[in-house]
């Protein structure tokens, strides 16, 4: 039996943080052993919101270096730049011919963007879902690892696939399903005691894989804490539970147990806990940061990775596109 095909796109924005690492990335790394995976950097999609990006390739290669450093293997998964696969654009055109203004205007992410930026409502933004459908269906992917915010886009992908199939009396496209990144993965909390680590909680409460040791230490020492437990075995307030969550991912079980015991008999000193957490966090992040730095300065290596990804992706894409063109009735 052939393997399921997995495809997902990564927006080339910002630096990778601990939340991405334990969320999306761990999931990708696990999947690369199990499925036929296509992971690409969505640098066409970037233009929908940043029509004149200053450093589109620089941003893309920063993400690439981080993903490789964190364990994505270009020999196992196909890792490529969206803009290296112009076949996607032809499929996007075909989907656009049968995508309706009404359904595109009803997409939540579109409505949000219109509200945020009423002066830049371009056709690319409107057709974000058809481009995304093309990304996925160009490889006939059946599984798409994305967060909740992308589920509506996935539903549109199924709509476009189904519509194409029925218009041209074919079963060429599968109906891909989102696979949430929820299963078995730790949600990394922000350091300010509320919400998930990531952009919305601000840079000070987010640990980036590229943070220097002094920065990591400073961020952790500033993390929010309360006044401390007053009764034995008290339930921990969210900000304290969060520090323990972080500790569980970077420290040894003995260390976690040690501080848990101290908390439970009201002898904990948060300063000590944070110092330990900071050291364990540095020990975790520092090798990653070093590998990212090394890779980032190794342009020939990054090029080799991208060339290999592009060639593998194009083999799959040209196959699909030839079928699509035949089904529609073009000369092949």
Which member of 111, 148, 199, 222 is catalytic?
Answer: 199
Q: Does 125 bind ligand TRP (CB under 6 A)?
A: no
Which positions ≥6 away from 37 have C-beta within 8 Å?
Answer: 5, 6, 7, 28, 31, 76, 77, 78
CB 224 within 8 A of CB 216: no
Question: Taking the CB of residue 101, how many other CB atoms lie within 10 A of it?
Answer: 8
CB 41 within 8 A of CB 9: yes
Q: Interface with ligand TRP by CB under 6 A: which range of 7-15, 92-100, 119-127, 316-324?
A: 7-15
Q: Does 8 bind ligand TRP (CB under 6 A)?
A: yes
Lookup result for tokens 């761990």: 26
199 is catalytic: yes
26 is catalytic: no
> Least CB distance from residue 178 to ligand TRP, whole Å?
9
d(CA 105, CA 114): 10
Single out the residue of 157, 135, 154 nearest to residue 91, CA to CA: 135
Q: Does 9 bind ligand TRP (CB under 6 A)?
A: yes
Name residue 151's beta-bridge partners: none
Nearer to ligand TRP among residue 7 and residue 56 (C-beta) = 7
Considering only residues 11-30, where is the footprint of ligand TRP by CB under 6 A?
11
> Least CB distance from residue 168 to ligand TRP, whole Å?
23
d(CA 289, CA 208): 9
* Residue among 69, 104, 132, 256 that touches ligand TRP (CB under 6 A): 132
Q: Does 317 bind ligand TRP (CB under 6 A)?
A: no
Q: Interface with ligand TRP by CB under 6 A: which range of 110-118, 129-137, 200-208, 269-277?
A: 129-137
DSSP state of 95: H
Nearer to ligand TRP among residue 64 and residue 146 (C-beta) = 146
DSSP output for 210-260: T--HHHHHHHHHTS---S--SSTTPPPPHHHHHHHHHHHHHS-HHHHHHHH
Q: For ligand TRP, what does the binding mask look like between residues 172 and 191, x meaning CB under 6 A?
A: --------------------
* Residue among 6, 29, 41, 42 that touches ligand TRP (CB under 6 A): 42
Question: Taking the CB of residue 133, how many other CB atoms lie within 10 A of it?
Answer: 27
Name residue 143's beta-bridge partners: 6, 177
Nearer to ligand TRP among residue 81 and residue 146 (C-beta) = 146
113 is catalytic: yes
* Residue among 20, 27, 46, 150 that touches ligand TRP (CB under 6 A): 150
* Residue among 136, 137, 295, 317 that touches ligand TRP (CB under 6 A): 136
Backbone angles phi, psi at 228, to 5 degrees: 105, 160
Catalytic residues: 113, 196, 199
Q: Which residues lie near ligand TRP (CB under 6 A)?
A: 7-9, 11, 42, 45, 132, 135-136, 144, 146, 150, 153
């Amino acid at each position: 039996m052939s393997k399921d095909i997995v495809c997902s796109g990564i927006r080339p924005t910002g630096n990778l943080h601990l939340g991405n690492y334990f969320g999306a990335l761990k999931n990708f790394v696990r999947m690369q052993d199990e499925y036929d995976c296509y992971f690409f950097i969505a640098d066409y999609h970037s233009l929908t919101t940043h029509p004149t990006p200053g450093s589109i390739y620089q941003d893309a290669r920063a993400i690439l270096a981080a993903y490789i450093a964190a364990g994505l293997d270009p020999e196992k998964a196909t890792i490529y730049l969206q803009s290296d696969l112009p076949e996607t654009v032809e499929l996007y055109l075909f989907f656009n011919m049968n995508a309706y203004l009404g359904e595109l205007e009803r997409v939540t992410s579109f409505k949000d963007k219109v509200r945020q930026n009423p002066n830049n409502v371009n056709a690319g933004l409107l057709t974000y879902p058809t481009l995304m459908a093309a990304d996925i269906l160009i490889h006939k992917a059946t599984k798409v690892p994305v967060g909740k915010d992308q589920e509506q886009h996935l539903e549109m992908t199924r709509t476009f696939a189904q519509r194409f199939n029925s218009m041209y009396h074919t079963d060429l496209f599968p109906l891909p399903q989102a696979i949430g990144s929820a299963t078995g993965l730790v949600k990394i909390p922000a350091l300010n005691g509320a919400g998930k680590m990531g952009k919305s909680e601000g840079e000070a409460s987010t640990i980036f894989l590229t943070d220097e040791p002094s920065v990591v230490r400073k961020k952790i020492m500033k993390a929010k804490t309360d006044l401390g437990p007053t009764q034995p075995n008290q339930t921990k307030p969210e900000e304290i539970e969060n520090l323990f969550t972080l500790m569980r991912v970077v420290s040894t079980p003995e260390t976690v147990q040690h501080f848990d015991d101290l908390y439970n008999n009201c002898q904990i000193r948060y300063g000590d806990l944070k110092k330990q957490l900071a050291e364990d966090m540095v020990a975790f992040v520092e090798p990653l940061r070093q590998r990212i730095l090394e890779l980032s300065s190794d342009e020939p290596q990054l090029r080799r990775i991208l060339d290999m990804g592009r060639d593998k992706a194009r083999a799959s894409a040209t196959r699909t596109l030839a079928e699509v063109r035949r089904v529609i009735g073009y000369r092949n």
